Amino acid sequence: MEVVLIKKFTVYLIRHGETYLNKFDRMQGWADAPLTDKGIQDAHQAAQKVLNVHFDQAFSSDLSRAVNTAHIILKDTHNDSLQVTQLKNIREAFFGYFEGANGPETWDTICRPLGYSGIDDFLSEHTFYEARDAMHAADPFKVAEDAQTFKKRILAGVDQLAEQAHDGETLLVVSHMDAIRSLIQLLNPQIDVHLPIKNGSLNILNFTDNHAEVVAYDR
């Protein structure tokens, strides 16, 4: 009789620390501002939440704010012998024409013609993937990621984590706000993810092969 092996692993999914574009409430997708002093402190505080966790592998997006946050967490938790594997697929969404623009003004431009006061109002009735389509439609260059492109990329990133994880391992993964909320919404639509999550926020996922349970959100 063939024995089917089931691989189980845990992901500690953390949002990077505050950057200068976060501080100034600017759109930050693939644009990559450095961490502020507060952002560095956010990373140290995130490390306190996982202080006693032994990580077997560490991953981040390839944007410096995520990479640097991961290194701080690994050092503070005495896991700094680990290399940080950078995955482009777990980057933030690409905002195209709107990269670096004022955040509230951008979402007013996108959402008001659709009958909403802003992005929080829009997301109270729509998914993050619908927000991606709305931004893509409003982008005069049509280069902002649409829902299908973004979802395909994020799920490819999850597949990369699943392929590289070994049974019983615990992974540190540092990513971005909309990427995290979009993934959580996909895994558990019952969780209300429409409001922003904190820089340094902790989310915990238990994977059994390619299926995941959300154990903690925005801690």
pLDDT in tens, 18-32: 999 999 999 999 999
Question: With contact defined as beta carbons under 8 Å apart, do 139 and 98 qualify?
Answer: yes
Query: pLDDT at residue 175 above 90?
Result: yes
Which residues touch 145 (CB under 8 Å, ≥6 apart)?
A: 29, 93, 94, 95, 96, 132, 135, 136, 153
Calculate what percentage of the chain has a pLDDT beyond 90.
96
pLDDT of residue 20: 98
Grade residue 210 by pLDDT with cuts at 50, 70 and 90. low
pLDDT of residue 211: 84
- pLDDT, mean of residues 140-168: 97
Query: pLDDT at residue 4 above 60?
Result: no
Q: What are residue 213's DSSP bridge partners?
A: 206
Query: pLDDT at residue 2 above 90?
Result: no
Phi, psi (degrees; rounded to nearest 5) at 73: -60, -45
Query: pLDDT at residue 1 above 50?
Result: no
pLDDT of residue 79: 97
CA gap 204, 104 in Å, rounded = 29
Calculate what percentage of the chain has a pLDDT beyond 70.
97
Q: Which residue has the tokens 């690994």?
A: 74
- pLDDT, mean of residues 73-88: 97
- The three state secondary structure string of the chain is CCCCCCCEEEEEEEECCCEHHHHCCECCCCCCCCECHHHHHHHHHHHHHCCCCCCCEEEECCCHHHHHHHHHHHHHCCCCCCCEEECHHHCCCCCHHHCCCEHHHHHHHHHHHHCCCCHHHHHCCCCHHHHHHHHHHHCCCCCCCCHHHHHHHHHHHHHHHHHHCCCCCEEEEEECHHHHHHHHHHHCCCCCCCCCCCCCCEEEEEEECCEEEEEECCC
Share the mean pLDDT of the chain: 96
Query: pLDDT at residue 3 above 50?
Result: no
pLDDT in tens, 91-116: 999 999 999 999 999 999 999 999 99
- pLDDT, mean of residues 23-42: 98
